[in-house]
Amino acid sequence: MLRKIRTLAVKPAPGATPTLTLLLGGLAAFGAYFAMYAFRKPFAAATFADIGGWHFEIDYKTALLIAQVFGYALSKLIGVRVIAEFGRQGRAALILALIGTSWLALVLFALVPPPYNIACLFLNGLPLGMIWGLVFSYVEGRRVSELLGAMLCASFILSSGVVKSVAVLFLHAGVPEIWMPAVTGLAFVPVLLVSLWWLERMPPPDARDEVERVARVPMRRADRAAFLREHGLSLLLLVAGYVLLTAIRDFRDNFAAELWAAMGHGGEAAMFSASELPVAVISLAGLAALMLVRDNMRALLAMHGVIVLGALLLGLSTLAFQAGLLAPLPWMVLTGAGLYLAYTPFNAMLFDRMIAAIGKAGNAGFLIYIADASGYAGSVALLLFRSLAAPKMDWLPFFIEVSYATAIAVGALTILSAVGFALRGRRQGQSHAAA
């Protein structure tokens, strides 16, 4: 299969228009990352309540999540360099190798008894952190990158709920909790293979793409250091907000089963998907429309506005839920929409436009992986805080309190970042006028 993927890599789709080829490429990017989630998230659908030999203060499922997120965060840290320097050759083969390694870790998780199998979740997360940067490299730097990026981002919004629904169905069919993650991952292998096959058929960005969005090239160590010296403060403000968004987004995702149970809907497989499909539509439609904004600085500032809007939606919908104005399902939809409106731009459009607005050749993957490495450190910190500092606090009240704190902090940090970029844009405009 690897040989076949390489053979077809340079052949454009016969008879297809460039636009259709790109749209199919966006769909393939969606499919590839969607399939990856089947190797990362299915175990979150189980509770792992009765685990023999577990006598620690942290509950078993939280320990599994921390181990996996540690591996995933370490992968993101490694990816700051690897993704920044990786070229176009060998991407599909590397994606297959990384996901295959993560599946073998799930098999070991089922075979190794607890508590030792917790290490297998670390090994499962370690390869998967690279996948986003490799898949995103197929779609960045194009005039339609917002649309393709929105299609790609839809994968992590929809996939988690769908994968957990499939996982619950496997549990209902009699698959043991300990084997369910490996079985669920195996079910999505055909989607992964077909998606990678088509991704390799996408042509690179054309000359007009490079004029409007800047050429996308590997960034060596000196290039990365120069970028951080010049734009480090703006990046720090954005990443600080992203750390909070990643932590609460992961908490909502990983403990969705516990949150639904607290609201009276425990064990209902359909609830995972029912709450996430509207989230994808709400949060991605506006982001995709930003491809119509040709001026890169204006588009960058508009994305700051979308992040602030997401923070407001997260906070206000939680307030309405506590006041009894929203039922559980609408509240979960609106909190999800708010979180993903704020979270999604960091994974594609925001940094893609930042590179274009700054006007220096580079790649957005480097910036995405700085944010992600920091974000998943925040996710681990929130899990540890919940387990050690607030172990008696119920899942639902904890999520509500963190939602308020995140909404306020992310809104303030993003506004400060927007002011900085607006001033920079004004200076650039004055320089061009003087020239």
Give tens-digit pLDDT for 161-215.
789 889 989 999 999 999 999 999 999 999 999 999 999 988 888 888 777 777 7
Inter-residue contact 319 to 124 (CB < 8 Å) = no
The enclosing H or E element of 211 equals helix 207-213
Least confident of 3-7, 56-60, 134-138, 355-359: 3-7
pLDDT of residue 103: 97
> Hey, which bits of 145-287 come out as E strands?
none
CA dist 334 and 262 (Å) reads 18
User: Is residue 340 scored above 50 in pLDDT?
Assistant: yes
pLDDT of residue 204: 84
Query: Among 267, 30, 45, 46, which Cα is nearest to 161's?
Result: 45
User: Is residue 250 scored above 70 in pLDDT?
Assistant: yes
pLDDT tier, 31 (very low <50, low <70, confident <90, very high otherwise): very high
CA dist 277 and 162 (Å) reads 9
pLDDT of residue 10: 40
Fold of 19-213: Growth Hormone; Chain: A; (1.20.1250)
For residue range 55-66, what is the model confidence (pLDDT) as tens digits?
777 788 888 888
For the chain, give the number of residues. Answer: 435
**Buried (b) or exposed (e) across 304-338, using 16+ Cβ within 10 A?**
bebbbbbbbbbbebbeebeeeebebeebbbbbbbb
Fold of 216-430: Growth Hormone; Chain: A; (1.20.1250)
Please name the residue that has the structure tokens 């119920």.
394
The CATH 1.20.1250.20 portion of the chain extends over 19-213, 216-430
Q: Of the spans 189-193, 266-270, 385-389, 390-394, which averages the highest pLDDT?
A: 189-193
User: Is residue 401 scored above 60 in pLDDT?
Assistant: yes
- What is the average pLDDT across 42-47? 82
pLDDT of residue 361: 66
Average per-residue pLDDT for the chain: 83
User: Is residue 30 scored above 90 in pLDDT?
Assistant: yes
CA dist 362 and 366 (Å) reads 8
Please name the residue that has the structure tokens 């500032």.
301
80 or 199, greater pLDDT: 199
CA dist 435 and 261 (Å) reads 63
CA dist 139 and 308 (Å) reads 25
- What is the value of pTM for the model shown? 0.74
Inter-residue contact 271 to 264 (CB < 8 Å) = no
Quote the Cα angle for 358-359-361, to 5°.
Answer: 115
